[in-house]
Amino acid sequence: MSEFSIGIDLGGTNLRAAVVSREGQILDRHTALTSISQGRDAVIDAMVGAIRTLRDRQTGRFAGVGIGVPGFIHLEKGYIFNSNNLVPLENFPLRDEIEKRLGAPVILENDANAAALGEKWMGAGRDVRHFILLTLGTGIGGGIIHHGRVLHGEIGMAAELGHITVVPNGLPCGCGNVGCVEKHASATAIAAMGRLHGLGENITAKGVYELAVAGNDRAHMIFEHMGRSLGIAIANLVNIFNFPLHLLSGGPLPAWEFFAPYMFEEVKRRSYTFRHTDTRIEKAALGDLAGLYGAAYLPFLSQELGSR
Amino acid sequence: MSEFSIGIDLGGTNLRAAVVSREGQILDRHTALTSISQGRDAVIDAMVGAIRTLRDRQTGRFAGVGIGVPGFIHLEKGYIFNSNNLVPLENFPLRDEIEKRLGAPVILENDANAAALGEKWMGAGRDVRHFILLTLGTGIGGGIIHHGRVLHGEIGMAAELGHITVVPNGLPCGCGNVGCVEKHASATAIAAMGRLHGLGENITAKGVYELAVAGNDRAHMIFEHMGRSLGIAIANLVNIFNFPLHLLSGGPLPAWEFFAPYMFEEVKRRSYTFRHTDTRIEKAALGDLAGLYGAAYLPFLSQELGSR
């Protein structure tokens, strides 16, 4: 009998859900607004409703639900904490509540970890045992795949790679640190540097990219800084992990030609391991579907491992 | 029947060997000079001789030999490369050669990884699944224990934690980078800073420590810099791994009171995870026996796992 799972990517404004077969084919999809302002119950109702609708259209065996969420997950307890966008869901037994309502296994995962797992299952990480994904967006998220599984650390908070210090006296970050790589290399950081460099009060990362394409020197400088900052963080990761692959995804990726040469220059200089092994830094393959694939993979992986 | 293994800590000047029981008791020891200048065969002869002597004095079952060596190990191929102190042994099938001569299993491991494994088996890491060891000496070595095993990366080069960048435009390192934490926080770095700060042409790390005890301001500044540098690296590790424990060992540890407050200040500031979880940074327990314990544990661990 064929088997399917449902993956959910829960953001601050959208809830995306997909039915995925055991073979990794997307069979059905659903998108809804995340009515966060209406409180916790409304969001849970919307999620459970979407899952039921999608499930009832299928005929195969239902393996369960994986949910990727921004913010920290307490894996054992099955709840979210310190999620900037989903505050009403924090510190609540979200996993158990949805399991109860559905009568099916539910697994929570950090959204960047889920994206990494998606790339492992169906994307650019298929052929390696170990790799790291960095998602460049509002911040920088990270997912570490070790022996085919997410490296979670003690309670599930590992891979906060956006908070690697790359400029010890750099820009202040919401996390309390200064000089986090996400303050120097995320899409938000590119836009902020654009404003600082007088490229326009309302300039976006895309706007900085377009200026770079047009030959603007300051836009080029911004991508140089972004690439070098990213390079310091990735060099650290290569030295720490000796993994064969590092994937980048997110909005700034079209600017690869502008930032990547500086990124590689820093990684080469700062990592003996990079220079002496076959270590790749590449674009991820699944775009914004990675998180959905990874979330949907969670119930299958849990079956394989015989444990949550 | 009782069981024993032999652990070897192979340095540039000394070869230390210990017979250790399955229960972790040191039963016998042997130390010899590493006659590196006499070439590869002389070192291998000395090692095999020491192992045979120790083995023949025992009556239990011989589980095998673990050898901790400075430098990189190619795990699969079983040889050493880029070892500053053991150049004649490089790029040679060392493991297979010793196995052949002894007729017993031999496992090579990086010395800092072996020390971490020793702390896991019989030291300060006994009660946790995951932890990181930093050994402060000539450089800074690292060992990462994940689910009770050494995290090796793709070919065995992981945990080069001494080469985490903490000062992006800092002091040049032999690895090609600038601002590696080992250039700012190792025993060698403390001595070098002592010279830079005019504390004496031949000042050692111990000398800087003694001046700090005597109230010397410049010695205090040096330990502040060392502590902050270490703190940046450890904050990165906490953010990356979410491990519950980080151990420090090596010569500068007596100066804990001088550097640790600054180290903790940086880690607290730079790691949300540190501030919101029970994450410890402590002194390792086994001193310079850690590497011997860890090397001796390798054959037992390999039996448990049913694989090398």
Say if the Cβ atoms of A270 and B153 lie within 8 Å: no
Q: What angle do CA A113, B143, B5 make, to 5 degrees?
A: 125
Residues of chain B neighbouring A80 (CB-CB closer than 8 A): none
Q: Looking at the structure, do residues A96 and A64 belong to the same domain, yes or no?
A: yes
- Chain A residue numbers with beta carbons less than 8 Å from the beta carbon of B236 are 164-165, 236
Q: Which residues have C-beta within 8 Å of that of residue B69, sequence separation ≥ 6?
A: B10, B80, B83, B86, B89, B108, B109, B110, B111
pLDDT, position B308: 42
Whether A247 and A265 map to the same domain: the answer is: yes
Q: Would you say B148 and B121 are in contact if contact means Cβ atoms under 8 Å apart?
A: no
Closest chain B C-alpha to A114 CA, distance in angstroms = 16
Q: Do residues A131 and A247 both lie within one domain?
A: yes
What b/e readout covers B151-168, taking b as 16+ CB neighbours within 10 angstroms?
A: bbbbbbbbbbbbbbbbbb
Query: Which pLDDT score is estimated for A306?
Result: 67
Per-residue pLDDT of chain A (308 residues; tens, 9 = 90+): 799 999 999 988 889 999 999 999 999 999 988 878 888 999 999 999 999 999 999 999 999 999 999 989 999 999 998 887 788 899 999 999 999 999 999 999 999 999 999 999 999 999 999 999 999 999 999 999 999 999 999 999 999 999 999 999 999 999 999 999 999 999 999 999 999 999 999 999 999 999 999 999 999 999 999 999 999 999 999 999 999 999 999 999 999 999 999 999 999 999 999 999 999 999 999 999 999 999 999 999 998 876 44
CB-closest option in B157, B165, B275 to A270: B165
CA distance A153 to chain B (A): 5
Q: What is the mean pLDDT of residues B295-305?
A: 92
Looking at the structure of chain A, the number of domains it has is 2
Query: Do the chains contact at B239 and A168, CB–CB below 8 Å?
Result: no
Helix (H) or strand (E) holding B221: helix B217-241
Q: Is residue B303 part of a domain?
A: no
Tokens representing residue A280 in the block: 């790749």
Q: Which helix (H) or strand (E) holds A94?
A: helix A94-102
Contact A270, A231 (CB under 8 A): yes
Structural domain boundaries enclosing A178: 124-284
Helices (H) and strands (E) in chain B, counts: 10, 12
**3-state SS of A232-295?**
HHHHHHHHHHCCCEEEEEECCHHHHHHHHHHHHHHHHHHCHHHHHCCCEEEECCCHHHHHHHHH
Considering B116, B142, B174, which residue would you say is the last residue of a domain? B116
**B240: contact with A, CB 8 A cutoff:** yes
Helix (H, G, I), strand (E, B) or coil at A125: coil
Which of B116, B141, B167 is the endpoint of a domain?
A: B116
Q: How far apart are the CA of B4 and the nearest CA of chain A, in angstroms?
A: 31
pLDDT at B169: 95
Q: Let me know whether A190 and A68 are in one domain.
A: no
Residue with tokens 């000062």: B167
The predicted pLDDT at position A229 comes to: 98
B135 and B103 in a single domain? The answer is no
Q: Is residue B290 part of a domain?
A: no
| Domain-ending residue, one of B70, B88, B116 | B116
> What HEC string does A150-199 produce?
ECCCCCCCCCCHHHCECCCCCCECCCCCECECHHHHCHHHHHHHHHHCCC
B4-37 confidence digits (pLDDT tens): 999 999 988 889 999 999 999 999 999 988 878 8
What ipTM, to 2 d.p.? Answer: 0.96
Same domain, B40 and B76: yes
Judged by CB atoms closer than 8 Å, whether chains meet at A144 and B240 is answered as yes
In this structure, the answer to whether residues B102 and B134 fall within a common structural domain is no
Q: How distant is the Cα of A267 from the closest Cα of chain B, in angstroms? A: 9
Residues B10 and B133 in one domain: no
Question: What would the DSSP string read from start to end of B166-188?
Answer: SSTT--B-TTS-BSBTHHHHSHH
Query: Which CATH number belongs to the domain containing residue B61 in this structure?
Result: 3.30.420.40
Same domain, A162 and A249: yes
Cα B263–B269–B270 angle (5° rounding)?
A: 90
Give yes or no: residues A232 and A298 share one domain. Answer: no
Q: Are residues B268 and B158 in the same domain?
A: yes
Q: What is the pLDDT of residue A308?
A: 42
A165 touches chain B (CB under 8 A): yes
Same domain, yes or no, for A17 and A142?
no
Chain A to chain B Cβ contacts (< 8 Å): 126
Q: Which residues of A touch B163 (CB under 8 A)?
A: 239, 270-272
- Cβ B34 vs Cβ B11: under 8 Å: yes
User: Does the pLDDT value for residue B307 go beyond 60?
Assistant: no
Residue B66: half-sphere exposure toward Cβ, Cα within 13 Å: 31
pLDDT at B215 > cutoff 70: yes
